[in-house]
Amino acid sequence: MRAVTIPRFGGAEVLEYTEAEEPVPGPGQVAIDVTHAGVNYAEILFRQGAVDVPLPYVPGIEAAGRIRALGDGVSGLRVGQPVTALTMTMGGGYGAVAVTDAHLVAPLPDDADRALMAAVPSNSTTAWLVLGEVARLRKGERVLVHAAAGGAGSQLGQVARLLGAGQVVGTVGSPDKIEAATAFGYDKVVLRDDLPGAVAGLTDGRGFDVAVDPVGGAARRASLDALAQGGRLVAMGNASGADDVPFSANELWFSGKGVLGFNLGALSGERPEAVSAVLRQAVGAVLDGELRVDVGQVLPLRDATEAHRRLESGRTTGKLVLAMEQE
């Protein structure tokens, strides 16, 4: 099959558009004929070698298409059915065929926009899990989200609203992203570097109840400092590539604050059944128009290198999607 592979770790230029072995579903798994795949920062980490994957490796943590084959024991799905899926436990979204756990597959209507639906599984599911299950967001609470104009940030702001947040504030890295982020349910969007001096004014001196940080580095420390007593910081990425930010257990004790972690890949690998219902909820919300997903650009699969360069530049808004080419 045609696929984009990581033959060795390195920059975006190492990605190869080539032939790869077609995967076959095992028990409890589903094979998908991929038409579109979302592009995510996680795939950059795979390419850089920050995550230990066997080489050559076909990346791609989410994809949409039609079911090609069902493994033994799979029920409730059928061959030929349009679906979107998390393909993060085995990789493969950047290939013509991807295999994943049946729990991580969500059926779609025949007329669903598959470029759009390929952009849903990772970020939209993450937003619901982070805010609803990890942070345990309560109605009326104040929420802070970093990288508000990005794929995950665009979903976190909206889901916070759907869950009843009283205030939702986002940060972005550059002024040109403020307008785009504001359209995703945020009451206020500020520059990330300006956050420390803006917290008191934004929250009437109280601080935020929940902060979600996919950026890391200075944003991680600023997030903890911005929390109210009883506030929860959820660390869910390190897009800045900065060194780890240590926290003192005694500091958390005295301040009454909490730091939590979320890793969708780890959860999907160990407990896919815990992800299944939330994935389908996210897909349903997008199909019903409750949750908006913006696809910023669709590139052919052979241009995966360019897609990675654009994502790493930090200048993209919305979601990048790769389209499988018909040959």
State pLDDT tens for residues 147-159: 998 889 999 999 9
Model confidence band, residue 90 (pLDDT cutoffs 50, 70, 90):
confident
2-119+293-323 CATH, one of 3.40.50.720, 3.90.180.10, 3.30.360.10, 3.30.70.580: 3.90.180.10
User: Quick check: 59 and 91 in contact, CB under 8 A?
Assistant: yes
Helices 121-128, 151-162: inter-axial angle, 10-degree rounding:
40
Mean of pLDDT over the chain: 95
pLDDT tens sequence across 28-65: 999 999 999 999 989 999 999 988 899 999 999 999 99
d(C-alpha 34, C-alpha 98), whole Å? 7
The correct answer on CATH 3.40.50.2300 for the domain covering 124-265 is no
pLDDT tens sequence across 236-256: 988 888 899 999 999 999 999
Of residues 319 and 272, the one with the higher pLDDT is 272
50-54, long-range: CB within 8 Å, 24+ apart, which pairs? 53/6, 53/91
- Check pLDDT > 80 for residue 227: yes
* pLDDT of amino acid 185: 86
Mean pLDDT, residues 287-308: 95
pLDDT tens sequence across 158-202: 999 999 999 999 999 999 899 989 999 899 999 999 999 999 999
Q: Where are the domains of the chain?
A: 2-119+293-323, 124-265
* pLDDT of amino acid 315: 76
- Check pLDDT > 60 for residue 327: no
User: Quick check: 207 and 199 in contact, CB under 8 A?
Assistant: yes
